[in-house]
């Protein structure tokens, strides 16, 4: 497999939807044990993150499918908070965004849909993720299967070891605040300007 690698933007703010009951919502060993789209159960540590707010919102909409609750009925104390995260610099990951990158991974250019317009199953992606991990890359940057559109992306980050964590930017953001936000910049903690103008 001739994987196409790319660097993720060093300053990008990645998003992770978390349940308030989770003891450590940025623990990559949970996905290691349970498995995910790009890693088999019992394999290696992975942290799954959204690239933008629209993709994070799609995660909630998918979660509520089949439930007699509409997302607009959820209050600010709903247990779905948003974490703002940054990763270490120079993280090289497999490209599962471009048509060329997908073909290099053995996936159709229509991903996340297959030729029959069905969502590509996890059992197809998991061995690919394992190969990417074995190649020493730090994850897979991919089109979101939750949305099915090219503009919505997620990242499966493969940390160096089970102790590695991304950097948190501020406290978890309450549900209604992040759900209605127009941009991540509205949610990011403001940097202190004290002392800048002192003579």
Residue 82's closest CA among 176, 185, 182, 190? 176
**What SS3 class is residue 178?**
helix
Lowest-confidence pick of 15-19, 36-40, 56-60, 143-147: 143-147
Task: Note the pLDDT of residue 10.
Answer: 86
Check pLDDT > 80 for residue 198.
Answer: no
Task: Count other C-beta atoms under 10 Å from residue 120's C-beta.
Answer: 18
Q: Which two tokens stand for residue 92?
A: 């090289």
Tell me the pLDDT tens digit for each residue of 45-100: 999 999 999 999 988 888 777 677 777 767 778 889 999 999 999 999 999 999 99
CA-to-CA distance for 181 and 178, rounded, in angstroms? 5
Check pLDDT > 50 for residue 194.
Answer: no
Check pLDDT > 80 for residue 199.
Answer: no
The percentage of the chain sitting over the pLDDT mark of 90, rounded to a whole number, equals 73
Task: Note the pLDDT of residue 196.
Answer: 43
């Amino acid at each position: 497999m001739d994987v196409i690698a790319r660097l993720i933007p060093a300053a990008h703010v990645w998003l992770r939807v978390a349940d308030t009951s989770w003891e450590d919502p940025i623990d990559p060993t949970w996905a290691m044990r349970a498995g995910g789209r790009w890693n088999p159960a019992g394999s290696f540590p992975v942290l799954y993150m959204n690239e933008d707010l629209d993709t994070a919102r799609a995660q909630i909409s998918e979660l509520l499918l089949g439930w007699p609750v509409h997302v607009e009925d959820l209050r600010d104390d709903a247990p779905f908070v948003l974490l703002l995260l940054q990763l270490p610099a120079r993280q090289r990951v497999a490209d599962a965004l471009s048509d060329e990158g997908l073909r290099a991974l053995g996936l159709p250019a229509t991903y996340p849909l297959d030729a029959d317009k069905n969502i590509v199953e996890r059992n197809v992606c998991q061995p690919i993720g394992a190969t990417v991990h074995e190649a020493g890359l730090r994850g897979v940057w991919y089109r979101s299967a939750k949305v099915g559109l090219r503009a919505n992306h997620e990242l499966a980050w493969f940390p160096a070891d089970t102790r590695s964590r991304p950097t948190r930017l501020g406290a978890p953001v309450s549900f209604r605040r992040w759900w209605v936000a127009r941009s991540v910049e509205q949610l990011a903690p403001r940097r202190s300007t004290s002392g800048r103008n002192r003579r």
